[in-house]
Amino acid sequence: MFTSSSIIDNLNQSEGLEYKKLCRLLKITKKSDKDKLDIALTALEKLEIINKNEDDEYTCVKDSDHLVAKIRCSSKGYCFAVRGKDKEDIYIKENLLNYAWNGDKVLVRIIKEGYRRRSPEGIVDCILERSNQILLSKVEIINNNAYAIPIDDRILSKIKLPEENKKYTFKPENKNIVKVEIDRFPIGQEEGLGHVIQELKLNDNEEYDTDFVLSKSNIDKSCDLNKIESKKLEKRERIDLTDKNSYLFKSWNSNNSPMLPMIQIEQGKNNSTKLWIHTNNLAERVDLNSKKSLETLFKGSESLPLLNDWQNYLSEAIRNDSEFKFGEKNEAISLCLYLNSNYEITDWSFHLTLVKCSLIVKSDLTDALLSRKSKTRITSRVLKPIKEYIDDLDKILEISCSFRQKHLLEGEVEIPKPLNKIELLEEFFIHNPAEYSKGYFESLDKEDCQTYLSPILHEANFIWYKHSNQYGLKSAGYISKGIDNVDANEIIKYSEIIDNEIELDEDGNLSFSQVIKLCGDDNKKRILHKLLINEFKDNEIRLLSKNPDNAESEKLFISPWAIPGFDFTNLINQYCIFNMITNGKKSKKNNINAINISESNSLELVNWDIFNSSISKSLEILFNKVVIDKLNEYKYKVNQYKSNMINIKKVRKAEKLIGNIYSGFILSVQTYGFFVEISELNVEGLVHVSTLNNDWYEYRSRQNLLIGRKSKKSYKVGDAIEVKIIKVDILKYQIDLELT
């Protein structure tokens, strides 16, 4: 189904489109759909967003007053149109939303300029794309009619339901939430219409938790991945490395977890080393020129963990054809890094290869390898069966640690991953070496072998950015921002959990690594880590091109490609590498002397476009702002889902322990109360200020504490207290506590 956004996107990419061609691009054939398109085109013309020229071609108005934005609403009713990086948000009054909901993509017109610290005000003129087709709701009877009332209080509408849906009326004792499919969004004076497609009885019933959280995060679980077929491989010349040992480091336990690359090592002369990264050849298997495939991929562009398995973004057929099978020959797309005796990268080259998995390295192996006291004697029962591989594995782990140390010296930050005490969530807490949205590294952990993949893949991803950037190619990736310093005022708020004296630099700052080392007690250190993580903003996927802004020239760019089974970002970067190897021009026209454009020593020699117009056009479909926006939108949903899945399972755990008393530490203080971590359970709950009935407590922001007016009793971050679990709210993922 087309949207206003898809109409504008197609018109933006053309000098003008005739009606019939626009219908073809939008895949509209039915008369009913053409009628809807006519209405949309007429409305967009009247809003002066598009126009029709004398040749009956539709074009976008170039100097329109409208701005593209996403609606973000708070639970308190404040709504803003968010325009993205470094652009001011626009305040939208509720009566000027024109039924736009939280998350919708809209066209906004500014009606009042901002001044001083006030945001500009605007009005929503057009909803380009709806973010919610399914609403989680409570069914309520109003004036004898059934209505769906969204449980998300940021959505400011109700949806009328058919008479037969009255049977789903909300009963607090059942917590029977329903999934409602929207048949018609509210417009003008017309109410929104919908119907119930599923009832979720959440009270004491965990089997619906995954459906509930996926729906609340607006993630579709029913996407038909079979539309993405697995292509047959063409016969190509490949380097046969099947006589060499290749190692697959894997901590994930689910059979259908994302496919991971293999590592191979070769010792050379003068203590030099060849380090190979072999990646699954998905760029050869997925038809990225197929509109049907792309439409499916844009609906779900990333794999995500469920409770017992994974929801993959690629079909099972493609995964089966591409995964590295133990002891079998497998096609790969590989990067060879040439290292000197100090493990510095001196050169690199990309290749198509044939490889064989010699050993699947699980976390018990890395634990045994890194725990043994002597490298000369092998006494561990875990290591004896793999004696022939130990020298290689030691060297790989040593290189990984060396790379990580280099990254830390360059200003990157390392923070241990949070604790997990809920077995069902194990897959959520295993390190994901393809994840770059956090803005910091998780610490190397000998009990999680995938952490040792990350430093190696970080280098591989940085190499592709350098290589593609030198050739003037676009890539999709991240800017590794890091944090050099932390505001001393923020640290002073948490001074009670820091044991050492604080030494600031001349600007009144601390380095991030200094802050982390200041805390001695393990419980308090964990609290400090949680607080410091909040200093990081999530990294967004960016379109990385030849000329970054001057302000960003010193930052580290990452173009991930080594785990294409995890997300679409990795896949399109790998697809570009594959095209470079197979279709890249190796010389200027009429020049006999071809060079290997897949090697690092070619970078200074190439002064021509390595892709012809046909390949450039196919890559342009993948590397553009529309695609990047879709990837960021889905990643935001996935991150929300993962966070909420962890939260609901913590609430479920607390639900069984209502009335119990536990020791805890105050994590953060707000005007309305303070959040407490119960270390024994590894859950967090809120002590609301209204339960502190022995005094009147006021919040002092400068000291970050609550203090009683009469007693002068205070509550601040790091305080050890005893609390009782008094209530849980599954729908809000909330645990309520009170002091004992």
pLDDT digits (tens, 9 = 90+) for 587-643: 887 676 789 999 999 988 898 999 999 999 999 999 998 899 899 989 999 999 999
Flag whether 210 is in a domain.
no
In a domain, 89, yes or no: yes
Higher-confidence residue: 482 or 409? 409
| pLDDT score of 550 | 43
Both 56 and 169 in one domain: the answer is no
Same domain, 320 and 430: yes
Backbone angles phi, psi at 581, to 5 degrees: -65, -40
C-alpha–C-alpha distance, residues 535 and 486, integer Å = 8
432 and 506 co-located in one domain:
no
82 part of a folded domain: yes
Residue 647: what residue type? N
Q: Above 80 in pLDDT, residue 517?
A: no
pLDDT, mean of residues 92-98: 92
> Does one domain contain both 251 and 370?
yes
593 is a domain residue = yes
Tokens of 567: 């997300």
pLDDT 10s digits, 565-579: 999 999 999 999 999
**DSSP classification of residue 168:** G
- Tell me whether residue 217 is in a domain: no
Structure confidence at residue 149 (pLDDT): 95
- Is residue 108 classed as helix, strand or coil in its secondary structure? strand
In this prediction, residue 520 has a pLDDT band, given cuts at 50, 70 and 90, of low
Measured CA to CA, the distance from residue 383 to residue 474 in angstroms comes to 45
User: For tokens 């020298």, what's the residue?
Assistant: 391
Q: Are strands 134-142 and 176-184 parallel, antiparallel or unpaired?
A: antiparallel
The answer, yes or no, to whether residue 477 has pLDDT greater than 80, is: yes
Q: 420 and 350 in one domain? A: yes
CATH of the domain at 726: 2.40.50.140
Contacts of 353 (CB under 8 A, 6+ apart): 238, 239, 240, 241, 276, 278, 331, 332, 333, 334
**pLDDT tier, 488 (very low <50, low <70, confident <90, very high otherwise):** very low
Same domain, 34 and 73: no
- 99, 72: one domain: yes
Give the domain range for residue 329. 239-481+543-638
Q: pLDDT tens digits for 200-248?
A: 999 888 999 999 999 999 898 767 787 788 899 999 999 999 999 999 9
- Asked which of 497, 514, 535 is the last residue of a domain, the reply is 535
What interhelical angle do 209-216 and 625-655 show, nearest 10? 140
Is 448 in the same domain as 398?
yes
Distance CA 320, CA 328 (A): 13
651, part of any domain: no
Kindly state whether residues 28 and 83 are assigned to the same domain: no
The domain that contains 156 carries what CATH number? 2.40.50.700
Whether residues 500 and 575 share a domain: the answer is: no
Q: Is the pLDDT of residue 357 over 90?
A: yes
Q: Does 230 map to a domain?
A: no
Residue 224: inside a domain: no
The dihedral over CA atoms of 104, 110, 113, 116, expressed in degrees to the nearest 10, equals 10
What's the one-letter identity of residue 242? T
> Is it the case that residue 500 has pLDDT exceeding 70?
no
Domain final position from 146, 180, 203:
203
> Which amino acid is present at 416?
P
Expressed in percent and rounded to 5, the helix, strand and coil fractions of the chain are 30, 30, 40
The two tokens of residue 608 are: 């021509």
Cα separation, 736 vs 740, in Å, equals 13
For the chain, the domain total comes to 6
- Under a CB-based contact definition with an 8 Å cutoff, are residues 160 and 191 in contact? yes
Four-point Cα dihedral 213, 217, 222, 224, nearest 10: -140
Within this chain, do residues 522 and 608 fall inside the same structural domain, yes or no?
A: no
End of a domain among 100, 129, 158? 129
Q: Are residues 143 and 282 in the same domain?
A: no
When the pLDDT of each residue in the chain is averaged and rounded to a whole number, the result is: 88
Lowest mean pLDDT among 1-5, 178-182, 511-515, 637-641: 511-515
